[in-house]
Chains A and B, each alone.
Chain A
Amino acid sequence: MIFGRSERGKPPVEPVTLKILVAGGFGVGKTTLVAAVSEIKPLRTEEYLTEAGRPVDDTTGVEGKNTTTVAMDFGRITLREDLVLYLFGTPGQERFWFMWDELSEGALGAVVLADTRRLEDCFAAVDYFERRSIPFLIAVNCFEGAARYPEADVRGALDLDDDVPVILCDARDRRSVRDVLVGVVQHAMDYGAERRETVTT
Chain B
Amino acid sequence: MSTDGQGSSHWFDDEAGPVVRPYAMTRGRTTSAVQHRLDLIAVVVAEPHADDAEADPSLSPEHVDIAALCLDAPQSVAELAAELNLPIGVVRVLVGDLVDAQFVHVNRPVPPAELPDESILRDVINGLRAL
Could you tell me which A residues sit within 8 Å of B by CB distance?
1, 3-6, 8-9, 12-19, 37, 43-48, 65, 67, 69, 74, 76-77, 79-80, 83-86, 88, 102-103, 105-109, 174, 178, 181-182, 185-186, 188-189, 192-193
Contact = CB atoms under 8 A, between A and B. Distances in A.
Main SS class of interface, B? helix
Given A77-B131, A178-B129, A188-B121, A106 B39 contact: yes
A6 B37 CA distance: 28
Contact of A102 (B16, B40, B109, B125): B40
Nearest to B109: A17
* Most chain A CB atoms below 10 A, which of B22, B45, B48, B82: B82
A189 B125 CA distance: 10
A45 B71 contact: no
B101 interface: no
Contact of B107 (A3, A14, A47, A102): A14
Given A44-B82, A106-B111, A79 B124 contact: yes
B45 to A, nearest CB: 5
Given A65-B17, A106-B112, A192-B112, A8 B48 contact: yes
Given A14-B43, A43-B79, A45-B40, 19 more contacts: A5-B72, A15-B43, A16-B109, A18-B120, A19-B40, A43-B83, A44-B82, A45-B78, A47-B89, A48-B22, A69-B17, A74-B82, A77-B131, A105-B111, A106-B41, A106-B110, A182-B128, A188-B121, A189-B122
Contacts of B82: 43-45, 74
Contacts of B20: none
A69 B83 CA distance: 17
